[in-house]
Structures are given as C-alpha cells and as structure tokens.
Amino acid sequence: MAAISTSGLSKNYGSVRALTDLDLEVGDGELFGFLGPNGAGKTTTIRLLMGLLRPTAGRAEVAGRDAWGDAVEVHRSVGYLPSDPVFPRNVTGWEFLRHLGSLRGGVPDTRIRHLADRFELDLSRPIQALSRGNRQKVGVVQAFMHDPPILILDEASSGLDPLKQATLNRLLRETVDGGRTVFLSSHVIAEVEEVADRVGIIRDGVLVALEGVDELKARAVRRVEIRFADAVDWEPFQRLPGVEQVEVRDRTLRLVATGSMDQLVKTAARFEVETFTSDEADLAEVFLTYYRDDDPDSDEGGDPS
C-alpha cells in the first residue's frame, strides 16, 4: 500500500490553477523529494495532503485514508512541518511541544528531549525569543516527536545552519531506514538530492518530472568558471558534450555544464589551472533543460507539453 497517493488532484483559487491533475504515489519507506521554485504549488500540494485545503478535483490519500474527509484519522499517522511554522506567544518550547503532544495522546518527555538535544535546541526559552533557525528546530522536533509512520515536511531545512541541516538529513535517513515514509519539499536541489530516493519536480502547478535521484544528478546543471595561467583556446571546450554558453574573458573561461564533469575536468587539466569553481545552477535553469528535452521545438521557458 502506498503511504501517499493522489489521483487527478487539483486546486484552483478562482481562475488561478495552483495545482493541476497531480498523480503521484509515494511508497512505504520511501524518501520522496518534491522540488519546485517558490510559488510552483509545493505548499498547496502539501496542504491538500494535510486536509487543510479542499481539493477542487481529484483526491489525495494518506495512510490509506482520504486526506480531506478523514483528516483527523490521517493526522494520527502523520508528522507535519508547515513552511514558516507559526507559534503562539508567551510559550516556551517545552510548554508548546507538550501541548501538541497532549493533542496526540501524550509524547514522552524523554523523546522530546532526545530530539532537542540532537539539534542543540534550548526548550526552556519562549519560542518567540528564539532565532529563526531555532524556531525551525522546534518545528522539526514537533513533527518527529511522536515517531509517526509518515512525515510531511514543507521546506524542512529552511533557516537551519549547514551543521543542523546535516543533522536533519541524518534524521531523515534514519527515519526511512526504519521503514517510515518522508515527503519532503524544497526549492533547493542540493538539499533534496542528498537524501531523497526519488524526486518529483513541479512547476506552475504541474508535475513536470518524476525520477530517481541518480537521473536527476545526471542532469544537474552547473555554472563553471576556470581561470588559467595563460590564455587558452576555447574551441576544445565548446565541442564537449553537455557544455554550453562558453564564454572567454582574458584567461577566464565561463560555461554551463550538464551532467558528468569528467570530460570537462580532463580537458581543463591539459592547461595550467589557477582556480576552478563550480556552482550549482538554480532550479529555474534545471527546468530549462527539462523543457528543451520535453519539446525541442518550444522556446526556452515555455510550458511543458
């Protein structure tokens, strides 16, 4: 049985189509990454899964039950982290987590403390006095504290420093290794590809790609800048497969590389390299490659067919 499944799931706000015809299945024990730029429909999808929004059409099932009609039962099996979680005023981390725990029939303090310690979170302070990153940790702890079989996390690592992001990634891996299911949304590819088994990419409310992380990595788009000791001939670089937008200024070569960097590095190594930097391109650029693949005739950035 799939932990999460949707069929024809759609949500309109007036004439705005926030989500169109989403068909998706996330299996038990899977860590599913849900990628898309801001405003693509990730949060809409997640709030439909949580029964906070009523579908315009189609349906969503979580833990084998209807997400809208059976929301309370669904929530017994789910840990939910909304994007930018909001906490009440005048309440400490302990007070609030115990309150949420009591609504779930009680969560042992030891479990809360264990999670808080992992994230080095001080639960005795008022939540409102905490930094953005520490508030996010409170959100993470409340999602995991009752050890739910399904976790639905919206931009979980947002605001966390790199060390705590690594802690979160370890926690996510342990969670799925223990047979639980994670649905994780993000607008940053690196965050998701590090932990996810499979990835869905959404744009303008439409799921445009669904594939394993390895395939996604093979399509990864990077901006590369190489500075050489001497002026170089850029011809050999331009002929490399997957290399585009080659541009030379003095001794500096800039290009965009897709997929394996092997050929590029080997070609550059024939010359004396001073610096080599590679940044992951943002999601928008990755989408451009998808659209080109989907429909070679269409303009860049056009709607996928």
Partner 1 sequence: MNALRVAGRSLDTYRRPLLIWVAAVGAMGFLQVLFWPAFESSASEGLEQLMENLPAALQALVGETNLLTPEGFINSRFNSLFPLLIGVYAAFRATNETAGLEQDGGFELLLGTPLSRRELLVGKFLAVAAAVAAIMVGLGLLTVLGAVLVGMDISLGRILAAAVAMTFLGWAFAGATFLVAGVTGSRGITLGVGAGAAVALFVWYSFAPLVEALEPFRPLSPYDHAIGYDPIRNGLEAFGTLLLAAVALVGLMLAILFFERRDVGT
Residue in 7, 29, 91, 133 binding partner 1, rule: CB under 8 A: 91
In the range 200-229, which residues lie near partner 1 by CB under 8 A? none
Strand partners for 243: 257
* Contact with partner 1 (CB under 8 A) among 2, 52, 240, 248: 52
DSSP 3-state assignment of 258?
Answer: strand
Least separation in angstroms between residue 124's CB and partner 1 is 16
Interface with partner 1, residue 292, by CB under 8 A: no
Record the tokens describing residue 44, joined without a space. 């809409």
For CA atoms 141, 172, 8, 297, the dihedral sign is positive
The mark string for 174-203 relative to partner 1 (x by CB under 8 A, - otherwise) is ------------------------------
Nearer Cβ to partner 1, position 100 or 206?
Answer: 100
Q: How far is CA 86 from the centre of its chain?
A: 20
**Choice between 84 and 300, CB closer to partner 1:** 84
Nearest-approach distance from CB 102 to partner 1, in angstroms:
5
Residue 22 CA, chain-centre distance (Å), reads 17
Task: Give the pair of three-digit tokens for residue 217.
Answer: 């990595």
For partner 1, the binding residue among 93, 139, 200, 242 (CB under 8 A) is: 139
Answer yes or no whether residue 109 interacts with partner 1 by CB under 8 A: no
In this complex, which beta carbon is closest to partner 1, that of residue 73 or of residue 194?
73
Nearer to partner 1, 76 or 114 (CB): 76
Stretch that binds partner 1, among 78-86, 207-215, 268-276, 292-300 (CB under 8 A): 78-86
Inter-helix orientation angle 132-144/93-103, to 10°: 30
Q: Which residues contact 93 (CB under 8 A, 6 or more apart)?
A: 116, 121, 122, 123, 124, 125, 127, 130, 138, 141
Q: Write 99-105 long-range contacts (CB < 8 A, 24+).
A: 100/142, 100/145, 101/145, 101/146, 104/76, 104/146
Question: Which parts of this chain interact with partner 1 (CB under 8 A)?
Answer: 47, 50, 52-54, 71-73, 75-76, 78-80, 82, 84-91, 95, 99-100, 102-105, 139, 142
